[in-house]
A and B are shown apart, each in its own frame.
Chain A
Amino acid sequence: DVKVTQSSRYLVKRTGEKVFLECVQDMDHENMFWYRQDPGLGLRLIYFSYDVKMKEKGDIPEGYSVSREKKERFSLILESASTNQTSMYLCAASFTGSHTVSYEQYFGPGTRLTVT
């Protein structure tokens, strides 16, 4: 089974701090995703990456950046945390083969970030 891990389950940061959320997957999957989840809004895509050093903006990239220096690791960066970024952050990975694409995404346990 694919294992996706996130660096913290719970995180409390102050307004204005720079925040790093780390995600690591162990199955050599090409695609990685960062979502935020808020009650009643479902999952909203922040950024995704389909290869090392490649990134694409999702639906709500403002206030966030990402880094993918190695295939297994995808980092989400909050440049200057604000209270409206208090949320659950979920990382996911999916596979792209040479002849097939699996849209199935494998998720980490999530990081609940509180910005005070």
Chain B
Amino acid sequence: AQSVTQLDSQVPVFEEAPVELRCNYSSSVSVYLFWYVQYPNQGLQLLLKYLSGSTLVKGINGFEAEFNKSQTSFHLRKPSVHISDTAEYFCAVSVWSNYQLIWGAGTKLIIKP
């Protein structure tokens, strides 16, 4: 069965510092990978996705992620965070047998001034 692990439930970081949010998945087949962001009291919106091709994927708001097949990881990075990046970030993996996504538990990004 497929699963997604987000290794950190919270990541505190100073404003303008770089950040990496970690995501590992388990799957015996090829997958599509997603990162979503949820700002306080809002629904989720897509940050970026990996379907195929280049393993470095760029998304909105200056975020990028790298697909590493050998390590089954899809870590999210930003070189310099802003207070507006305060949110919860979710990693998700496609399920080939149906149209579902398998979700990680989420990582709260806390920006310290």
CB-defined interface of A60-88 with B at 8 Å, one 1/0 digit per residue? 00000000000000000000000000000
Contacts of B103 in A (CB 8 A): 42-43
Q: Does residue B105 face the partner (Cβ distance < 8 Å to A)? A: yes
Q: Report yes or no: B42 in contact with A109, Cβ–Cβ below 8 A.
A: yes
CB-defined interface of A86-106 with B at 8 Å, one 1/0 digit per residue? 000010101010000101111
Q: Report yes or no: B100 in contact with A48, Cβ–Cβ below 8 A.
A: yes
A interface residues with partner B (beta carbon < 8 Å) = 4, 31, 33, 40-43, 45, 48, 50, 56, 58, 90, 92, 94, 96, 101, 103-110, 112
Q: Report yes or no: B104 in contact with A42, Cβ–Cβ below 8 A.
A: yes
Q: What are some 20 contacts across the A-B interface (CB < 8 A)?
A: A31-B99, A33-B100, A40-B9, A42-B90, A43-B103, A48-B98, A48-B100, A50-B99, A58-B100, A90-B43, A90-B44, A103-B34, A103-B100, A104-B34, A104-B49, A106-B46, A107-B44, A107-B45, A109-B42, A110-B42
B interface residues with partner A (beta carbon < 8 Å) = 9, 32, 34, 36, 41-46, 49, 90, 94, 98-101, 103-106
Task: Tell me, in angstroms, the Cα distance from A6 to B94 when the chains sit together.
Answer: 24
